[in-house]
Amino acid sequence: MTPYLRQLSLDLAPLEVSPSSDWCQRWRDGRPRWRHRSEGGFDATQYEVGPITDRTAKAYVERHHYARTYVASRLRYGLWDRRGALLGVAVLSVPVRGEVLTRPFPHLVPFHESLELGRLVLADRVAANGESWFLGRVFRLAGREGVRGVVSFSDPVARHNTAGGLVFPGHVGIVYQSANATYAGRGTARTILVLPDGRTLNERALSKLRTLDVGHEYVEHVLRRFGAPPRRGAAPSAWIPRALVAAGVRRLRHPGNHRYLFRLGDRASRRGVVISVPSLPYPKSTDRSPTQAA
């Protein structure tokens, strides 16, 4: 372990949010906001849901979602109020690994009949319980496009920046539970890379950098902004380890996200969707196991 990582081991350990919370998570300019379920007040007659362009979805997600990053989208939907203000975005996307889809939905064509709910972002102006209604409309529209299975992950581990400020409070999928999703346990435990501002440097981004694929310049820019030296033509395999240390990237052992599954389509279509993983009880306790990794 480097001296930098030893120092960071003094930080607050990542903490998972209680799954029994009655607060609804919202976002504005990358910061979490909260609406309590007891508020009620959501009036579905004041909202509309429909497809949106990739450009519109990307701009909204990158402005409001804490990660400030977009995903490899396939279908995108927006939530508007009656005045035409865009107040939410849902993105059905292509995951990094195909087995994310093929393992739970072995009989569906991945990336077409099965997708991941890669982003779900609602503004804090949306009243409590609005996310369930929005998600239901999104799934209805996606079902008309031939989507029959959706995988969604909820990350319950909070993120802090190096100053100790809370950047991401975590969530355990209460909205998915209220939508009667099938709970399929945890995703794969792994080590995640956390930037000094609390954002995660994901594997897709690093893969672009390793292969110098389209978009790798942005990843280099992010690392250099936090103190990494210029690459100056060095091989990514040699530069990346040095850059991560110089940029103050933390390595955290993550126990795995909660995984939820949805069947889409009409009643007959839903009955025909085979889920090949066991259905488990919804999580009802916190897990404080994540640790700083060497």
Max Cα distance, the chain (Å) = 59
Per-residue pLDDT tens over the stretch 158-189? 888 888 888 777 778 888 998 899 999 998 89
Q: Quick one: 245 and 268 in the same domain?
A: no
Q: Quick one: 175 and 34 in the same domain?
A: yes
The token duo for 149 is 């299975």
Q: Quick one: 103 and 183 in the same domain?
A: yes
Q: Quick one: 131 and 154 in the same domain?
A: yes
Q: 110: closest CA among 100, 121, 120, 118? A: 100
Q: 147: closest CA among 264, 273, 272? A: 264
Q: Quick one: 118 and 144 in the same domain?
A: yes
Domain with 39, as residue range(s), is 23-188+257-285
Beta strands in 66-145 (DSSP E): 73-81, 86-93, 114-122
In what helix (H) or strand (E) does residue 191 lie, and over which residues does it extend? strand 190-194
- Max avg pLDDT among 2-16, 60-74, 96-110: 96-110
Asked whether the predicted pLDDT for residue 16 surpasses 80, the reply is no
Q: Distance (Å, rounded) from C-alpha 122 to C-alpha 229?
A: 37
Q: Quick one: 197 and 219 in the same domain?
A: yes
Q: What count of other Cβ atoms lies within 10 Å of the Cβ of residue 223?
A: 25
pLDDT score recorded for residue 130:
86
Total domain count, the chain: 2
pLDDT score recorded for residue 160:
84
How much is the pTM? 0.78
Q: Distance (Å, rounded) from C-alpha 258 to C-alpha 250?
A: 22
pLDDT score recorded for residue 90:
97
Per-residue pLDDT tens over the stretch 219-274? 999 999 999 999 999 999 999 999 999 999 999 889 999 999 999 999 999 999 99
Lookup result for tokens 């940029």: 247
Is residue 63 helix, strand or coil?
helix
Give the domain CATH number at 272. 3.40.630.30
Asked whether the predicted pLDDT for residue 8 surpasses 50, the reply is no
Has residue 1 been placed in a domain? Answer: no
pLDDT score recorded for residue 20:
43
pLDDT score recorded for residue 204:
81
CB 136 within 8 A of CB 264: no
Q: Distance (Å, rounded) from C-alpha 257 to C-alpha 190?
A: 10
Q: Which residues pair with 92 in a beta bridge?
A: 75, 117
Residue 231 neighbours by CB under 8 Å, 6+ apart: 220, 239, 243
The token duo for 262 is 């949805």
Q: Distance (Å, rounded) from C-alpha 145 to C-alpha 173?
A: 25
